[in-house]
Amino acid sequence: MIATNDITILEEKARMIRRHVVNMIFEAGSGHPGGSLSCVDIITVLYFHEMRFNPSETDDADRDRFIGRLDDIGQDGMQIVRDMVTIFTIYHFKTEIIVASVRHPLHVIEAAKVGAHVATIPFNVIEKMFSHPLTDVGLEKFMRDWKNVPQ
């Protein structure tokens, strides 16, 4: 449940975001305001209530970091994680880095290697972490050979 005072703050943030959306579309000279404006309330609650996102509170250890989908558009999402770990270490920010939108087991390994604190891992990636094509081939060969062993 969101407190009444928090609702008032969230409503003001949502109005500010709507103004930014309209201004950005106007300045760009194109865009589709419907989609952007329709999700403002959801984004506002997620970022400013659920995720407790506040750029001015860099020392908040409970602040979430959403990293994801950059690989899908041709960027190196893990480089952002590496940069964040470096910057937060240099400036002694007491916060945790959460890697989200993990796409494959290498993301999990890389996130752990660079020092991310948490990774949200979809079930299909967890399944991939417990299987490997060479293991599958090896098991098939073993089972085939086992059937040929006299009982």
Is 97:73 a contact under the CB 8 Å cutoff? no
- Fold classified for 56-151: TIM Barrel (3.20.20)
Whole-angstrom distance, CA of residue 42 vs CA of residue 47 = 9
Indicate if the pLDDT at residue 138 is higher than 80.
yes
- What's the chain's average pLDDT? 82
Contacts for 20 with CB less than 8 Å, ≥ 6 apart: none
| Separation between Cα atoms, residue 26 and residue 30, nearest integer Å | 7
The runs of H, that is alpha helices, within 29-132 are 33-38, 40-45, 77-90, 105-114, 123-129
For 84-120, how does the pLDDT look when each residue is reduced to its tens digit (9 = 90+)?
888 888 878 777 788 888 888 999 999 999 998 888 8
> What pLDDT sits at residue 16?
92
Tell me what pLDDT residue 110 has. Answer: 92
77 pLDDT higher than 60: yes
pLDDT in tens, 6-60: 888 889 999 999 999 999 889 888 888 888 888 888 888 877 776 655 656 655 5
Cβ neighbour number for residue 81 with a 10 Å cutoff: 24
Check: CB of residue 106 under 8 Å from CB of residue 116.
Answer: no
Domain ranges for the chain: 1-50, 56-151
The amino acid at 4 = T
Rounded to two decimals, what is the model's pTM?
Answer: 0.49
Structure confidence at residue 143 (pLDDT): 92
